[in-house]
A and B are shown apart, each in its own frame.
Chain A
Amino acid sequence: NAGVTQTPKFQVLKTGQSMTLQCAQDMNHNSMYWYRQDPGMGLRLIYYSASEGTTDKGEVPNGYNVSRLNKREFSLRLESAAPSQTSVYFCASSEPGRSKNIQYFGAGTRLSVL
């Protein structure tokens, strides 16, 4: 039962470097999400994809781009990392609908930008 798989689990970057966080789900969910979690804060939505082929900005999209590669995969890219992007990143997926709409989360990626 893999659920939502994120890679990598840990990453250290230097300011200005780029990287892509990968996320894949095997639950055949239509919607996928990227959140960040900072100390003392709840999770904040960066971007989401309500269905394959669509992406939308969340609360804190600046400095990030996303790609919904197919129904299973949703990647998050940092083009030029900044120390303010040091955080724990979570990917999630869900099947929207009245009797559903439960988000399942990956294990998170801890990113440090020096």
Chain B
Amino acid sequence: DAGITQSPRHKVTETGTPVTLRCHQTENHRYMYWYRQDPGHGLRLIHYSYGVKDTDKGEVSDGYSVSRSKTEDFLLTLESATSSQTSVYFCAISEGQTSGNTIYFGEGSWLTVV
């Protein structure tokens, strides 16, 4: 398995509180991604990063922000959590075309907003 660690793995939080999920990789891969997975929607991209301090939005970025201050860490922040953000969040990494495009996923973070 690719060296990807997500934390926390499980979290219950209250509506309106800020939440930060962390993704840490040991592979020195250039690209990092945050996806959310919900029944009937598959995997939807929230934000991605293509280098330190280089990030861009995905298809469901509203209500989320990200930061990447080091190659190995990619943080996802919910500034004010809502019940619609209850989901499973997966971090993923890729070296891009230089290594054949393969995307590896972390183990997931289960977030419940009550």
* B partners with A: no
